A = this chain, B = another copy of it.
């Protein structure tokens, strides 16, 4: 087991600033490209991260602390951000993400201490899960969506790189997985 709260927070607090420095000021060509019909663009990924801050991580943590594993916590709708698409600019979304993430890290610090990491909740699909697994997942969820944004942008240049495609893992994987 690698999880420790201090190191987890290091990643959680860096994700908003990382995305801000990566995405702010980019042309629409980069911000609105996606990987094909039914896939997300970078802006939609940031909106999904904001949804997670509002309705997933801290609400589930509180649910476990209140209910233990006696009842399953409500499912998180991973597509809800697509139903309420706002007219925010990317900078407004990035700013909102940063603000709510920092609030949530502070809130987490008031809610738990290391002795709580093994407390169990009940996931509607997985069954018993531990608080430390929820918090580890929060971190890896950030990483998977940073990776997704980068992959979406690489996809835009798939044909532009010509024969170098052979050497570029980010494009080769998509060849292998077809997704």
Contacts and interface: CB of A to CB of B under 8 A. Distances in A.
A133 B164 contact: yes
Contacts of A3: 157, 160
Interface in A119-149: 123, 126-127, 129-130, 132-134, 136-137, 139-141, 143-144, 146-148
- Most chain-B Cβ atoms within 10 A of its Cβ — which of A11, A29, A130, A160? A160
Q: How many copies does the complex hold?
A: 2
A157 B140 contact: yes
A115 interface: no
A114 interface: no
A140 B14 contact: no
Interface of A is mostly: helix
Contact-residue bracket for chain A = 35 or more
A51 to B, nearest CB: 15
B168 A177 contact: no
B29 A21 contact: no
A163 B126 contact: yes
Contact of A147 (B18, B126, B151, B164): B151
A27 B14 contact: no
Contact of A30 (B10, B123, B126, B171): B10
Contacts of A157: 2-3, 136, 139-140
Contacts of A141: 168
Nearest to A26: B10
Interface string A149-177: 01101101101111110111111010011
Interface of A: 1-3, 6-7, 10-11, 14, 17-18, 20-22, 25-27, 29-30, 33, 123, 126-127, 129-130, 132-134, 136-137, 139-141, 143-144, 146-148, 150-151, 153-154, 156-157, 159-164, 166-171, 173, 176-177
